[in-house]
Amino acid sequence: MQRFNYLILLLIAVLALPSSALQAKNKKDKAAKEQQITTGAQDRATWVKLMWKISYPVIHNLAEGTLHQNMPIETPSGNTKGYDEITHLEAVGRTLAGVAPWLALPDDDTEEGKLRKQMREDVLKGLKNAVDPDSPDKLNFTKQPQPIVDAAYLVHAFLRAPKALWEPLDEVTKQRYIDSFKALRDRTGAYNNWLLFTGLTEAFLLQQGEQADPFRINIAKNKIKEWYAGDGWYSDGSKFSMDYYNSYVLNPMMVAMLETLATKKRASQKDVDEALQRLIRHSEFCERIIGPDGTYPAFGRSVTYRTAAFQSLADVALREKLPTHVTPAQVRCALTAVHRNMYEGNQNFDKDGWLVLGFNGHQPEAADGYTSTGSLYMATLSFLPLGLPADNPFWTDAPADWTTKKAWNGEKLHKDYKVEY
């Protein structure tokens, strides 16, 4: 009997071996993938590929006059009524706000340069279609409050790449945009981050020599400043919300608005510098939430905006204003890990390449009621550093571990502490 029991145990052990070996191999393969080291040039190529993957359907279809025809409209409820009036401007404004710095780079004969030239030509063609009354893709600026939001993202694209995206437009098209932005004045939105949308758009109109609405500018300046909670964080309205809106909107757009107003002496350099320091501080938080494996927590409103959560970090990297203890290489490596996790697979795309509702996969239950397909294209905002040329240290410095990777590996760790500005 003892011998029989022994044989049974031996058989179980033998049968378990292949499974254990397979599990060990899978763990080893996973670890190898996680430890894969790439050069800055390889990282840049990955970024270009993934940003193109996200943005091409929007940009190409707008250029061809087929955006309304081909872009799906997915909503949490399944009801598209009303969303069909606003989702296309969402897709265009948000996509362009992220790709603009890349399109601002000069042409060259590299493969990347050829892609960039192609996309820029498509964007300029699409921008003309977007305000052409005879185009099937004329975008809505006159119905519902939502266009207030996405006109501001479009403005942000013009501000980030004026010579590439605004100046080449013909005078008729420019005037149509100016008229469209002015048409937004007959509506208001929420009393929170929405103030920045109207403020940024009015600042752009002022920059273009138009009569701006001083009330919209002043309330945006004063209330957002009043809502500053400290340590790089703004309250989104009178009550603080723990989410990614400080990166989606508040920090980057506050700086952009004040910088634009300062050119017309409607904001002081002191105001600009203060807001920029707060943006830089917030970028540190963004870098620290990226886990050692390139994942980050899904919390708060609008998690379906995905990597827009890192706009503050991407913006500061683009400006070359990172704190001395946060190196360009560690930001590049951290964001590369995030981008690969999110976009190398197809879990966030439908069969035609459009983004789907969700955080990392098709998760429509995670979407807010105001979210539809076009909303998701804020994801491009994490790709802003592609506006740095390929020979910039951001892309040429040797790979470096980011903060949480250093922390969990027991490496030297910079102490984090609150700031008083």
CA distance 253 to 228: 14
User: What are the mean pLDDT values of the chain's consecutive 10-residue runs (421 residues total)?
Assistant: 48 45 47 69 98 98 98 97 98 99 97 98 98 98 98 98 98 98 97 98 98 98 98 97 97 98 98 98 98 98 98 99 98 98 98 98 98 98 99 98 98 96 96
- Alpha carbon distance 285, 302 (integer Å): 18
Q: Measuring CA to CA, how many Å separate 170 from each of 12, 56, 70, 131, 284?
A: 77, 24, 27, 12, 41
Domain count, the chain: 1
User: Using DSSP, how many helices (H) and how many strands (E) does the chain show?
Assistant: 16, 2
**HEC per residue, 383-421:** HHHHHCCCCCHHHHCCCCCCHHHHHHCCCCCCCCCCCCC
Yes or no: say if 375 and 83 are a contact pair by the CB < 8 Å rule.
Answer: no
- CA atoms of 293 and 291, how far apart (whole Å): 5
Quote the domain boundaries for residue 369. Answer: 39-408
Separation in Å, CA 169 to CA 105, 108, 123, 126, 160: 17, 22, 11, 11, 15
Contact 205, 183 (CB under 8 A): no
Residue with tokens 């305000």: 131
CATH number of the domain that 124 lies in?
1.50.10
pLDDT, position 2: 53
Q: Do residues 244 and 227 lie in contact, with contact meaning Cβ atoms separated by under 8 Å?
A: no
Query: Would 175 be classed as within a structural domain?
Result: yes
Contact yes or no for 81/137 (Cβ under 8 A): no
Residue 60's beta-bridge partner residues? none
In 3D space, the residue among 198, 103, 187, 91 whose CA is nearest the CA of residue 139 turns out to be 91
Q: What b/e string do you get for 186-211 counting C-beta neighbours within 10 Å, with b at 16 or more?
A: eeebeebbbbbbbbbbbbbbbbeeee
Residue 420 lies in a domain: no
E strand or H helix that includes residue 46: helix 40-64
Identify whether 2 is part of a domain. no
Pairing type for strands 233-234 and 228-230 reads antiparallel
Quick one: pLDDT at residue 36? 74
Q: Phi then psi for 84, rounded to 5 degrees?
A: -65, -10
Residue 323 belongs to some domain of the structure: yes
User: Which DSSP string do the residues of 130-162 spell out, in sequence order?
Assistant: HT-TTSTTPPPSSSSSTHHHHHHHHHHHHHHSI
> Is residue 159 in some structural domain?
yes
Amino acid 223 reads K
Can you point out the beta strands (E) in 175-259?
A: 228-230, 233-234
The model carries a pTM of: 0.92
Q: What is the pLDDT of residue 189?
A: 94
Does a structural domain hold residue 45?
yes
Q: Is residue 1 part of a domain?
A: no
Query: Does residue 239 lie in a domain region?
Result: yes
